[in-house]
């Protein structure tokens, strides 16, 4: 692989990383506005004096299933 091809490969990788960071930033900023996210049955909350622990187990499983389906659809479209 020549120097030019290596530069193109690094450039594409940086663009993909940047796009992934933008998507992650959008997800984080829009997450509070998604209904039911974090309030599903199976999302565990412990609240006591001065302590609050939150484990969004069901929400994580649901998001994982959605991301998996989207990735499979993208892969099939290639």
Distance from C-alpha of 54 to C-alpha of 64, rounded to nearest angstrom: 18
pLDDT tens digits, the chain, 78 residues: what are they?
556 666 678 888 889 899 989 988 888 788 777 777 778 898 898 899 999 898 889 988 988 999 899 999 988 987
pLDDT at 17: 92
pLDDT at 73: 92
Give me the residue spans of the domains in the chain. 1-33, 35-78
pLDDT at 78: 74
pLDDT at 51: 93
Cβ–Cβ under 8 Å, residues 54 and 44: yes
Strands (E), the chain: 44-48, 51-55
pLDDT at 63: 86
């Amino acid at each position: 692989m020549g120097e030019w091809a290596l530069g193109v490969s690094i450039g594409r990788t940086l663009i993909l990383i940047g796009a992934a960071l933008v998507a992650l930033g959008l997800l984080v900023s829009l997450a509070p506005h998604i209904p039911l996210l974090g309030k599903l049955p199976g999302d565990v909350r412990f609240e006591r004096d001065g302590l609050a622990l939150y484990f969004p187990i069901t929400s994580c499983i649901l998001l994982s299933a959605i991301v998996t389906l989207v990735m499979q659809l993208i892969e099939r479209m290639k």
